[in-house]
Chains A and B, each alone.
Chain A
Amino acid sequence: MAVPQKNCSNEDCNYRVDGKCVEGYALEECPHISSILVEEIEEIEEPESAPEANPIISLFLGEALSREKASELQRKSRSRAVSIVGPADAGKTSLVASIFDLFQKGPFATFNFAGSSTLIGFEKVCHDARAASRRDAPHMERTIAGAEATFFHLDLLSAQSDLVSLFISDRSGEDYLAAADDISRADEFFELRRADVVTLLVNGEHLTMSENRHEVKATTPQIVDALVEAEALRQGGRLAVVLTKQDSVVASPHTVRVQKEFDEIVDAIIQHHGEYFSDIGRFSIAASPREAEEVKRGEGVDNLLRYWLLAAKTPTASRSTESGSTRMIDLLDSFVKEAT
């Protein structure tokens, strides 16, 4: 006899054995019969013992560093601190990303990659310029306005020198621009006061556009004015003024005009603040060009990196700038001669 596959909740009933209801009900009328098949009831497995939690070791996060963590690392080795200042879309993130990515192909600007505690941070900012993002053009996320500055870290080694740790600060461009409206905002820019080189970005693409060029020419010196006025920049430090997006400049019909106007911006800064800084250098870069036909990826970044990593010197280079030599190679030569 086939055993019925229904359950009876009456303990006195042998329905499961003989298929008969002890109370004489017809199957469909019995109040004790469950409609659930025995096989459908899940067995609850009692764990033999609670699994022991395996203790976890947390590793360093690899993200851009906090102020405190950067300070801790800076104390451990010879270091250079660099701050990048510029309006939104001037190319800050592209510059940071390109420096790391240029080392992915080998030694760069006579330096060798020796390590980094912010590889995750670099990878994040590099992603949108890489083919893995599946984008059709390089893209860079803006740094969030109002957030405290963080630091990217690279240990670099040159054939001529010891290891040097490079710390590049990252803060929203909007925050720096706000200092031009309200210089009390500059008090919060701790990263600028500790910077060996403050790097001021001038959006080259905007200088090619009639709608934006006058704004760029007006506001760039004003940012420096405000930061100097607020004593947010270390007196005797170096200032690099950088024309970004050289690919857009070269592709525009106004290449000569843009270069001339950029030079005027730098000259104005030198005129007003030449005494404040030990040196003011000028650079042109294409950190993450949209097209690689006219300029190559990372063009000019090598000169800027070498400038960042030069040892702090007396203000000789300012004099060379003022005497008319604006070629970066002349500035670098003067530093090299001083060093040797």
Chain B
Amino acid sequence: MSHGHPSVSIIGLPESGKTTLLAAIWHMVREPGSVTALKFDGLNQGNYEHLNGLAKRWRAAKKQQRTQTSGLKVVRMNLKNDVGKSIEISFPDMPGEDFSRMWEKRELDESMGDMLSAEAIVLLINGDTIKFPTWIVEQNAIAKGAGLPPENAEVVEWSAELAPTQVQVVELLQFLMSSELSVGPRRLAVLISAWDEVKGDGMDPEEVLKVKLPLLDQYLRSRRDPWTWHVWGVSAQGGAYEDQDNGEQLEETEALRQLDRPSDRIQVVDGKKVSTDITQPLNWLIG
């Protein structure tokens, strides 16, 4: 799959921001004057229509269209690092539904299996939509404390999609280390996306992982599976983008458009350090 070049698989459940990340990277490495660890190193004979389309919507601050479930795309970028070494990185652009299918149906297409054979993995988790388990007994205690009557709702039978985010993500990583998909030790960049929504909690990315995704945090720290990992907080948009296909217009989006440089919307948080360099995780992954 790598064809001699680093290949980075971007994985994540639906709506975790995979396509937005690709769009932001592609814009930023080509934005004149931007300061990034990895820089644009020219076009080759590839077709950039897909990437350009993504970047165009991103610059316009429009929500990306959902990644189509048919016709998996591999996008390639020619980049160079700080010592001028050329690197072609390929990213399979896979829809989040395919990762849900892995959890719920316990299967994937062989073509997707090939795309998941990269030794470098970007795992995106939408920090604003983490589904955490809650327990009846604790919910009842809160309701009782608030003087609320017990809810008289219809019982919901078990189904796989009800599982907490951290359980689904742990399974996804276990799949990548299972005999069916294992390629040996891998590097993993955990990106907690929608950081603009998460940062209000006052935690750095490692603390968010520990507090909001404790099962995943324990799994990674145990090192049962050979992941070399690091965690960042990332806001590839900087705020809400309009769903213009539905005629949405937001003041917040307009404010983002008013920034002089689109890359100023980006926030990348590593520990306490904040920057706009969205190539940092990639540079770490292929370093």
Give me the interface of A with B, judged by CB distance under 8 Å: 54-62, 101, 103-107, 112-117, 119-120, 123-124, 126-138, 155, 157, 163, 288-293, 297
Flag if B138 contacts A292 (CB, 8 Å).
yes
Flag if A123 contacts B167 (CB, 8 Å).
yes
Flag if A155 contacts B224 (CB, 8 Å).
yes
Known interface pairs A133-B155, A134-B154; A107-B218 also in contact (CB < 8 Å):
yes
Give CA–CA (A294, B139) in the complex, Å. 16
Give CA–CA (A76, B174) in the complex, Å. 16
Count of B interface residues, CB-CB < 8 Å: 50
Flag if A104 contacts B166 (CB, 8 Å).
yes
Flag if A133 contacts B136 (CB, 8 Å).
yes
Taken residue by residue from 171 to 200, chain B's Cβ proximity to chain A (1 for < 8 Å, 0 otherwise) reads as: 100110010110000000000000000000
Residue of A nearest to B175 (CB): A59
- On chain B, the residues within 8 Å of A157 by CB distance are 222, 224
B152 interfacial by beta-carbon distance below 8 Å: yes
Flag if A135 contacts B155 (CB, 8 Å).
yes
The listed residue (A60, A106, A123, A131) touching B136 by CB distance below 8 A is A131
Flag if A293 contacts B141 (CB, 8 Å).
yes
B41 interfacial by beta-carbon distance below 8 Å: no
The 6 A-B residue pairs with the shortest CB-CB distance in the complex, in nearest-first order: A114-B222, A127-B158, A55-B110, A114-B224, A134-B153, A131-B134
Flag if B154 contacts A289 (CB, 8 Å).
no
**B202-228 residues at the A interface, CB under 8 angstroms:** 210, 214-215, 217-219, 221-222, 224-225
- On chain B, the residues within 8 Å of A105 by CB distance are 214
Give CA–CA (A294, B222) in the complex, Å. 34
Return 26 A-B CB contacts under 8 Å, by A number: A55-B109, A57-B113, A59-B106, A59-B108, A60-B178, A101-B133, A104-B215, A106-B217, A114-B218, A114-B219, A115-B225, A116-B170, A117-B174, A120-B106, A123-B162, A132-B133, A134-B151, A134-B153, A134-B154, A134-B156, A137-B140, A138-B135, A288-B137, A291-B140, A292-B138, A297-B137
Main secondary structure of the interface of A (DSSP, over half): loop
Flag if A130 contacts B134 (CB, 8 Å).
yes
- Smallest beta-carbon distance B167→chain A, Å: 6
Flag if A289 contacts B218 (CB, 8 Å).
no
- Smallest beta-carbon distance A213→chain B, Å: 25
- On chain B, the residues within 8 Å of A117 by CB distance are 174
- On chain A, the residues within 8 Å of B150 by CB distance are 136
B250 interfacial by beta-carbon distance below 8 Å: no
Flag if A59 contacts B107 (CB, 8 Å).
yes
- On chain A, the residues within 8 Å of B171 by CB distance are 62, 119
Flag if B160 contacts A103 (CB, 8 Å).
no
Known interface pairs A56-B107, A59-B178, A123-B158; A130-B136 also in contact (CB < 8 Å):
yes
B111 interfacial by beta-carbon distance below 8 Å: yes
- Smallest beta-carbon distance A86→chain B, Å: 21
Known interface pairs A56-B109, A58-B106; A131-B139 also in contact (CB < 8 Å):
yes
Residue of A nearest to B166 (CB): A104
B53 interfacial by beta-carbon distance below 8 Å: no
Give CA–CA (A54, B114) in the complex, Å. 12
Flag if B135 contacts A112 (CB, 8 Å).
no
- On chain A, the residues within 8 Å of B137 by CB distance are 129, 138, 288-292, 297
